[in-house]
Amino acid sequence: MPTWLVVVIVVAAVVVAGLAAWLAVRERRRRRLRERFGAEYDRAVEEHGSARAAEQDLEERERRHSELDIRPLSPSARERFTHEWNLVQERFVDRPAQAVAEADRLLDELMAERGYPTGDHDQQVADLSVRHARTIEHYRAARGTLSAHERTEASTERLREAMVRYRTVFDDLLTDGAGTGGTGGAGGDGRHTGDRGPAREGR
């Protein structure tokens, strides 16, 4: 076999092996991001128009998140936020719009207590999506209802749905994504809410 042909075969084998390794790495990367972000991955692909751009965005979110000082709540802080949430939820019956606005404010306070920067809604969503991808769409929808209400009054039903969504995100942050309802707080065991307003909605 001519030497040049041997060289061509070796080079081709190296190229094929390199391509296979690159494809395997890319597939592992894609699988990891899909598992971590779930539906947020698909949303990012739709927004960016390609999986590659979406994955770059999601990895940038991970990088930024790793630089944040995210911390768990102390028992006293968890108790305080739980109490404040129950007060907000009780006000929904008489003042639904005000209660939803207060729920949004309280959620901002909870984020800040956990170490998340607040003030830029889009950045808040990106930061939260890294560890709370399961509930981030609830946050988007609730904020969307609140913004719509500020422009034109939303129906009580839409406000109720927003309140339920805020509660879902609130509880996820309260328990650091470990599960909902475990603290007897944001939705809890119903002891604080009875049949009042959005508390009747299951999660």
**Is 185 in the same domain as 132?**
yes
d(CA 84, CA 140): 22
Domain end point (choices 33, 66, 99):
66
**Are 104 and 143 contacting, i.e. CB atoms less than 8 angstroms apart?**
yes
User: What b-and-e string marks burial along 102-112, b requiring 16 or more CB atoms within 10 Å of the CB?
Assistant: bbbebbeebbe
Positive or negative, the CA dihedral 161, 166, 167, 172 is positive
The pair of three-digit structure tokens given for residue 191, joined into one six-digit string: 């002891």
Sequence letter at residue 162: A
Domain end point (choices 66, 90, 110):
66
**pLDDT for residue 189:** 36
**Is 88 in the same domain as 40?**
no
Percent of the chain exceeding pLDDT 70 equals 86
Number of domains in the chain: 2
**Is 62 in the same domain as 79?**
no
**pLDDT for residue 125:** 95
**Is 81 in the same domain as 55?**
no
What is the mean predicted confidence (pLDDT) over 124-144? 95
Q: What is the pTM of this model?
A: 0.76
Domain end point (choices 66, 90, 107):
66
Q: State which residues form the domain around 108.
A: 75-200
The pair of three-digit structure tokens given for residue 15, joined into one six-digit string: 């190229």
**Is 196 in the same domain as 110?**
yes
d(CA 112, CA 71): 10
**Is 84 in the same domain as 61?**
no
Q: Give the three-state DSSP class for 136.
A: helix
Sequence letter at residue 194: G
